[in-house]
Amino acid sequence: MSRRAIALAAAAVAVFFAVTLITLTHVITNGGSGCAIAAPAPSLPAALRALGGFDQSYDATNLQQLAQVGQNAAAVVSPNLDGAAPLEPVTVAAATTGQPAAVVVPLAAQETTGSGKRLVGLVSFYVSCGGRAYFGSVSDISAEALNAPVSFPAVGEGAAAAQLATSAPQLVYTSSPFTPEWRNPQSGATIAAGE
């Protein structure tokens, strides 16, 4: 075997290992989270489809933007929610693997008696692994006047912690982010968080 053949073989082996190392590094850094959960594609009501813009993704960490988009969507979907003010968005984890996390924007309106605000609507966004939020749906609870909760979730974190005997309860959902439950991450015990 000539020196030239040995040099070419050594170069080919070096190139092979370099390409393998680069590929492996790329796979590890881009797939390290192990997350393969995609947020569901938005199923928009006709009014939102006609307006456009609600089928795009939003930065899930920009809660102010999600609150504004939620408020706008709710006003279009339900005239009862026009003028409702967004409250602090609430992150709701998925109770089971394979579901995306969610962000719920509670909407409040001034009481007709003028003595405060009441919860009148909820808007959900589903969050993909990449940190992008996609419009989910709107729930108009304004007709529930007397039975509507005053906050979302109706059971606060402090009360849930006391009832579940944990310092860090998790807010999770199984079928709808509008009806979450509080879960003790150690024991798995849950209580309804209310709508």
Domain boundaries, given as residue ranges, for the chain: 1-32, 46-192
The candidate with the shortest Cα–Cα distance to 137, out of 77, 58, 53, is 77
Given a cut of 90, whether residue 70 has pLDDT beyond it is yes
User: pLDDT tens digits, residue range 25-40?
Assistant: 444 444 444 566 766 7
Instruction: Give the mean pLDDT of 153-173.
Output: 94
Q: Give residue 15's pLDDT band: very low, low, confident or very high (50, 70, 90).
A: very low
What's the pLDDT score for residue 1?
65
Its pTM stands at: 0.78
What's the pLDDT score for residue 17?
52
Q: Give residue 8's pLDDT band: very low, low, confident or very high (50, 70, 90).
A: low
Pairing outcome for strands 101-110 and 132-140: unpaired
The candidate with the shortest Cα–Cα distance to 142, out of 159, 166, 117, is 117
Give residue 193's Cα distance to chain centre. Answer: 17
Given a cut of 70, whether residue 64 has pLDDT beyond it is yes
3-state secondary structure 104-120: EEEEEEECCCCCCEEEE
